[in-house]
Structure 1
């Protein structure tokens, strides 16, 4: 008999046109013919109707932005094209939002023409796809001002969408650039859970919230320097806590390649294990949201300490309070940490023989069984996936059990892996956070983070995780 678990909450899944839109602290029903409050657009699936061209909705056609008629009789594709998942602005900013289409592309301006494009992760790309919500021309409507070109607004011009200055056709401009926020014509995207390019997520439940610590992605050669933290109470709505550690100015022994962090808690402090220039360091903070400070002034595990790359740390703390550190690329290592969480006995390091092992060990315990899961193949390969083994102690021996997460080309999921696992605080409900290629055209340096539920069979083996697009 399988575990009795609840489904992961979803965004934009509905059976009727009615939708409750959360605007600030106000709950307001937004149905066809009813406008949302001005100057803010809640996250989630939304459709935007032109104020002065009733029945025409903001949409994309062949990746170009338009306003076109959409009705209940319109086809499925047209309804999807007129539905966007609203997210916090990719470039940040109070009151700013971004719009993601069903295929994963983002609405942005390029040479002031609105179109769909991939999230390249660059400063320019993020800014071009960020719009700040302003009051519309009539009460209850909203306008979208460019985040990086203040004074330019999204407007329709001969049904095409452009980013124009407010001095253009001043008699009609305000109405041409105003939209009603409507219930979505179709379901919005549920993933990725972090809006942007991120990878190697470590998920944990800390201080009453779920936290995710990822690699900041989108850089050639994985050359990013910043670590960020995100938190949530429901695994759907995430708070961005900003940069919690910047390797460049904050770590004396490294300057780049900030990868694959992990978090642990002990005696009132949080310990942040991170990769930098293929070493493993550790930083500490009194808050899971940081900021974190390099604790040693040197690597905890230096490059060359053992064969393979000294990367991809993970920490497991057993029921007796003993913590273990796992790491490695090419070879899998583990060691018991000293109580200070900052040192270990180098002579006690264990090497595991794991079939197909590449990187990204992660250990957890359930009903007395220890589970060690890890990534197989290269993160640049669409065949990157997760396998696992079970054991009777945190250091094995390990029995290989097979694959639990793999690609699904029918929904565009490629290269899912470098995962972590967390248990809900309310029962035997488990979730896996992992990255995959960005949809629709990502690769090994343009990846996105998502979270899916993990289920167990009656004998304790793990069912294959069903990836979401």
Structure 2
């Protein structure tokens, strides 16, 4: 069944309450980010977890901080479908149903778990409320019975409709940290500036073996408030040669169009990855596969064909960088979708693992990369400088690394953006989701990047 087939195209508004929220951006979506869910027929009782089981309990301003935290969830894109939703607790675990009982568990990444932890919205029993339909069992809805949470077969009765209806309210425990900048599990962010807006293109995270099949785009004018533009490329219907492993996208504007470079794998059992390129007339897509085949086939060069990045020099020449285990670069042809294989150069530096990124400042070229493994809390960013987009490169050291005193682990696979006409720079990167993340449960954040008087990059301090 198509991944989007489970979307229930319904329309609702989130009502005002004592904990008022803005209305969702479009009628077919829930607002993402930190939220609480209040029962329609038991006002003052909220969906929460206690001893890892889903319940409906009273919550008020006088409740303990633990109770408030247990009644707060981050609404994220559904683990099984970007058209539906999942609910992540502060400890990083997800609400899911098992044996029809709703409980809180760590994401195993299996198809069963992802489906059991995904719910699709339908109209609730009163205006402004929502009912949550099981992705795996579309005839069942989340409901409370004796204040316990279950998924049960829908009954068209007044009692069932009320028991399965909730109002989304502001969170009892608002997130008081700066990041992540986009709610949910994302990684490998590519940040760019087009037409007066910042854009983020991340890997969708939270999948076993990083097997996500699609990419999304987000945009902002201030790097704080981000608009979700939805899925811009889905390997399932949009790419004939790839089904999964939608990793590390990078987008560049050229020739009046936008080019999306991406990694992809097939479900054939071959774990090798290819690099592809897609094109669109808009930075928010939809993108279409430009070639119908990989731009860089697996095994054509040493290392994995993943983590593409494109740098365009002042003379208009664009260069494609990629690689895991070995770093490669090649000038792109003017069409942006081809190159001369004889021109490929290997530029692997000491400590290089993956995540190439190149930019130019004051005549100096900067080549940055990630070291160690993304599952390692010691994942970090290092860089070198050189006189051309091809090097030679002189390593300058590590500039971004973990801060265990804040619970920040594995900061890396970054990208850099300059506000045009200024010397203001920002770095986007992922880290283990705070506090319960790991190498497949990561989140995206943005920090300032500054330079010393000699042009070296000042140590980047990762923040919450």
TM-score by length of 1: 0.78
Answering whether residue 89 of structure 2 is matched by residue 101 of structure 1, we say yes
Of 190, 212, 217, the residue aligned with 1:230 is 217
Separation in 1, partners of 2:82, 2:284: 19
- In the alignment, which residue of structure 2 is the partner of 1:79? 68
**Whole-Å Cα distance in 2 between the matches of residues 28 and 111 of structure 1?**
32
Q: Which has the higher contact order (CA 8 A, sep 6+)?
A: 1
Equivalents in 2 of 1:59, 1:30: separation in Å?
A: 19
- TM-fit CA distance, 1:427: 5.0
Q: Secondary structure at the match of 2:427?
A: strand
Give, in whole Å, the separation in 2 of the partners of 1:458 and 1:376.
Answer: 23
* 1:448 Cα deviation from its structure 2 partner: 2.7
For 1:308-342, what per-residue CA distance to the aligned partner results, in whole angstroms no more than 9, with x for missing partners? 33432211112221212222333333233332323
How far apart, CA to CA, are the structure 1 residues paired with 2:291 and 2:91? 45
Question: Would the aligned equivalents of 1:260 and 1:311 in 2 still touch at CA under 8 Å?
Answer: yes
- 2:54 is the counterpart of 1:65: yes
Unaligned runs of 5+ in 1: 1-23
Tell me how large the CA RMSD over aligned residues is.
3.8
| Paired position in structure 1 for 2:18 | 31
Say whether 1:452 aligns with 2:446: yes
| 1:327–1:361 CA contact under 8 A, matched in 2 | yes
Which residue matches 2:262? 274
Greater Cα shift, 364-373 or 374-383: 364-373
- Does residue 187 (structure 1) correspond to residue 174 (structure 2)? The answer is yes
- Deviation at 1:453? 1.6
Superposition map of 1:62-461 within 5 A: 62-92=51-81, 97-138=85-126, 141-150=129-138, 152-167=140-155, 172-188=159-175, 192=180, 198-207=186-195, 209-217=197-205, 221-222=209-210, 226-234=213-221, 235=223, 236-242=225-231, 244=233, 246=235, 250-251=239-240, 257-276=245-264, 277-296=272-291, 299-352=294-347, 354-424=349-419, 428-438=423-433, 442-444=437-439, 446-459=440-453, 460-461=455-456
**Cα–Cα, structure 1 residues 367 and 125, in superposed 2: closer, same or farther, change >3 Å?**
farther
Instruction: Calculate the TM-score normalised by the size of structure 2.
Output: 0.78
> How much has 1:456 moved relative to structure 2?
0.6
Q: Which runs of 5+ in 2 are unaligned?
A: 1-10, 265-271
The reply on whether 1:45 has 2:34 as its aligned counterpart is: yes
Decide whether the 8 Å contact of 1:45 with 1:83 is kept in 2: yes
Structure 1 residue ranges, 4+ long, deviating more than 6 angstroms after superposition? 24-28, 34-40
Alpha-carbon distance between aligned partners in 2 of 1:159 and 1:269, rounded to the nearest angstrom: 54
Shift of 1:376: 0.4
SS of the residue corresponding to residue 353 of structure 2 reads strand
Per-residue CA deviations over 1:405-433 (Å, capped at 9, x if unaligned) read 22334454433322222234585443333
Find the counterpart in structure 1 of residue 7 from structure 2.
none
In 1, Cα distance between equivalents of 2:105 and 2:163: 23
Distance 1:37 1:420 in 2: 32
- What is the CA deviation profile of residues 175-211 of structure 1, one whole-angstrom value per residue up to 9, with x for unaligned ones? 4444444332211387555566544332323355444
